[in-house]
């Protein structure tokens, strides 16, 4: 089955036949995680770096923000049997508009905050395709852990 | 090669706006608070009456108690929203079409337009920013030029635009200007003029990708609305995030960095609620 993850949402699966996909990654970041031995994986599509801009919204929509979404996403993955030692992490997105005053630096800040969170938790990002200004689509195959993305009609393995 | 003049001919052939929308624009241009005259206009249009009441009673409008009075409904949602609703009915269908030349699938331009209008609405209602009522309609229509231009973007033109954006790291808008001599923004301004939407809306649409100079607050709202709508992932297409952002627009309207992010979060949640209620 094919699961489509919307903006500010996530999908985890333990079904080998599943493909998880998320479209329209502009300044948002798509985070794909996969545990090969537990055959568990999924994608989180968050939009903004920090929930402090809107704590009320963050309570109802934790997956909208990196700082609330990433921990909640991992917690759910662990519930499905994924283990922190084995999990592979790949990210795509974080495109940035041109703005010399860095006023609309959502794409860049999403990247920075994501790195910080993983660094603090002693986790490594295995592969990434971030930045630039183009829109991306991210795919993950649960059975194999293969992750890939499309950008401007081009397919790239992650 | 196509010229703006050729396309202006095409724009002249577009159906005019519904009478109610055209009249509402005139009222809003003169006096924003003239509710009585507006109510008469709305009442005359059954479909618009129904849409205004439906929206005024929806949770998105923050309805605490039901109303079936057009006057109450109009006061509750504001004339700017009524105008947006009146124009929506006219553009809903064509804007739902796919624009493959822009890399936009079915409903993508429409969703982007709705998200932009929502951003303007959130600024006024939730962020209590003093923004003009005409901003909603302007935000809704800011990319309408794409609708007419898309058919003329043949593979050669698309290729030239793509080369300029990838090899010369030009923004999509600048590349469009460079290749064609005009852009979807210019064409949108022409459509707005054809529909007699007035200079504030026409200039806002025409300059929505410009930075540094501004024709006024409606234009500033549209620039930020477009960016918020992009941030929530709507209407990306081939353009993606390849656009210049006007930080000055935020400063002029008194929106700071975290204010912009809060705005984007609000728009994303509202947009999802609307999409849920329609499916
Ligand atoms: Fe545009
Ligand atoms: Fe736009």
Interval A59-75: pLDDT, tens: 899 999 999 999 999 99
ipTM, two decimals, is 0.95
pLDDT, tens digit, 9 for 90 and up, residues B75-132: 999 999 999 999 999 999 999 999 999 999 999 999 999 999 999 999 998 888 889 9
Work out the minimum CA distance from B84 to partner chain A, whole angstroms.
Answer: 25
Task: Inspect the interface and report whether the beta carbons of B231 and A104 lie closer than 8 Å.
Answer: yes
Task: Inspect the interface and report whether the beta carbons of A99 and B247 lie closer than 8 Å.
Answer: yes
Instruction: Flag whether pLDDT at B33 surpasses 70.
Output: no
Instruction: Flag whether pLDDT at B279 surpasses 70.
Output: no
Number of helices followed by number of strands (H, E) in chain A? 3, 10
Q: Which residues of B touch A98 (CB under 8 A)?
A: 171, 242-245
Q: What is the pLDDT of residue A53?
A: 86
Residue B14 DSSP symbol: S
E strands, A14-157, in order: 19-25, 29-35, 40-46, 88-93, 127-130, 136-141, 147-151, 154-157
CB atoms within 10 A of CB A32: 27
Residue A123 DSSP symbol: -
Q: What is the pLDDT of residue A68?
A: 97
3-class secondary structure, B32: coil
Instruction: Flag whether pLDDT at A55 surpasses 90.
Output: no
Q: What is the pLDDT of residue A75?
A: 97
Nearest to B209 by CA among B168, B178, B255: B178
Q: Which residues pair with A22 in a beta bridge?
A: A138
Task: Inspect the interface and report whether the beta carbons of A7 and B243 lie closer than 8 Å.
Answer: no
Query: What is the distance in angstroms between the CA of the first residue and the CA of the last residue of chain A?
Result: 21
Find residues 142-171 of chain B whose CB sits inside 8 Å of chain A: 162, 166, 171
Class of domain B4-15+79-277 as given by CATH: mainly alpha
Asked if B172 contacts B161 with a C-beta cutoff of 8 angstroms, the reply is: yes
Alpha-carbon dihedral B150, B155, B160, B166, rounded to 10 degrees: 90
Task: Inspect the interface and report whether the beta carbons of A98 and B243 lie closer than 8 Å.
Answer: yes
Question: Which of B261, B266, B270, B279 best tests the A interface by mutation, with the highest count of A CBs <10 A?
Answer: B261
Distance from C-alpha of A114 to C-alpha of A57, rounded to nearest angstrom: 20
Between A96-110, B31-45, B204-218, B264-278, the lowest mean confidence (pLDDT) is in B31-45
Domains of chain A listed by start with CATH number? 2-157 (3.30.1330.200)
Mean pLDDT of chain B: 92
Q: What is the pLDDT of residue B69?
A: 94
Both tokens assigned to A12: 């985890």
Mean pLDDT on A104-121 = 96
Alpha helix (H) ranges present in chain B?
4-12, 19-30, 35-43, 46-56, 70-77, 79-95, 108-125, 135-141, 145-149, 155-167, 172-180, 184-194, 198-206, 217-231, 247-253, 257-278
Distance from C-alpha of A134 to C-alpha of B261, rounded to nearest angstrom: 20
Distance from C-alpha of A38 to C-alpha of B230, rounded to nearest angstrom: 37
Nearest to A113 by CA among A49, A27, A55, A28: A49
Q: What is the pLDDT of residue B126?
A: 83
pTM (2 d.p.):
0.95
- Given pLDDT bands bounded at 50, 70 and 90, which one contains residue B32? low
Q: What is the pLDDT of residue A22?
A: 98
Instruction: Flag whether pLDDT at B145 surpasses 80.
Output: yes
Residues 6+ apart with CB under 8 A from A109: A49, A50
Q: What is the pLDDT of residue B34?
A: 73
Q: Which residues of B152-172 are buried (b: 16+ CB within 10 A; e: fewer)?
A: ebeeebbebbeebbeeeebbb
Alpha-carbon dihedral A148, A150, A151, A155, rounded to 10 degrees: 80
């Amino acid at each position: 089955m094919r699961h489509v993850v919307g903006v500010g949402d996530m999908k985890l699966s333990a079904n080998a036949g599943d493909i998880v996909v998320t479209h329209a990654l502009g300044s948002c970041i798509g985070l794909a995680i996969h545990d090969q031995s537990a055959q568990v994986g999924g994608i989180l599509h968050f939009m903004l770096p920090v929930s402090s801009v809107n704590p009320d919204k963050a309570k109802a929509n934790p997956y909208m923000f990196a700082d609330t979404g990433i921990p909640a996403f991992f917690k759910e993955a662990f519930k499905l049997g994924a283990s922190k030692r084995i999990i592979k992490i790949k990210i795509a997105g974080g495109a940035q508009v041109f703005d010399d005053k860095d006023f609309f630096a959502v794409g860049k800040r999403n990247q920075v905050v994501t790195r910080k969170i993983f660094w603090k938790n002693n986790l490594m990002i295995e592969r990434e395709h971030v930045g630039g200004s183009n829109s991306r689509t991210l795919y993950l195959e649960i059975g194999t852990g293969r992750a890939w993305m499309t950008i401007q009609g081009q397919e790239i393995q992650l | 090669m196509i010229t703006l003049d050729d396309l202006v001919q095409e724009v002249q052939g577009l159906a005019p706006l519904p009478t109610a929308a055209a009249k509402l624009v005139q009222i809003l241009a003169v006096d924003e608070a003239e509710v009585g005259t507006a109510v008469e206009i709305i009442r005359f249009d059954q479909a618009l009456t129904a849409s205004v009441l439906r929206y005024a009673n929806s949770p998105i409008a923050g309805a605490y108690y039901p109303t079936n009075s057009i006057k109450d409904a109009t006061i509750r949602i504001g004339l700017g929203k009524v105008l947006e609703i009146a124009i929506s009915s006219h553009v809903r269908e064509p804007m739902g079409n796919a624009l493959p030349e822009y890399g936009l699938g079915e409903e993508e331009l429409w969703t982007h337009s709705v998200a932009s209008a929502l951003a303007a609405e959130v600024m006024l209602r939730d962020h209590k920013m003093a923004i003009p009522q005409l901003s909603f309609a302007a935000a809704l229509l800011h990319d309408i030029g794409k609708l007419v231009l898309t058919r003329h973007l043949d593979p050669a033109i698309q290729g030239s635009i793509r080369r300029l954006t990838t090899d010369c790291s030009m923004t999509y808008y600048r590349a469009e200007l460079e290749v064609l001599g005009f852009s979807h923004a210019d064409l949108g301004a022409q459509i707005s003029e054809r529909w007699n939407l007035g200079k504030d809306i026409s200039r806002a649409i025409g300059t929505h990708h410009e930075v540094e100079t501004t024709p006024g607050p409606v234009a500033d709202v549209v620039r930020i609305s477009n960016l918020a709508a992009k941030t929530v992932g709507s209407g990306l297409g081939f353009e993606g995030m390849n656009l210049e952002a006007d930080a000055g627009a935020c400063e002029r309207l008194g929106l700071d960095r975290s204010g912009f992010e809060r705005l984007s979060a609000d728009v994303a949640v509202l947009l999802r609620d609307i999409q849920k209620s329609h499916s």
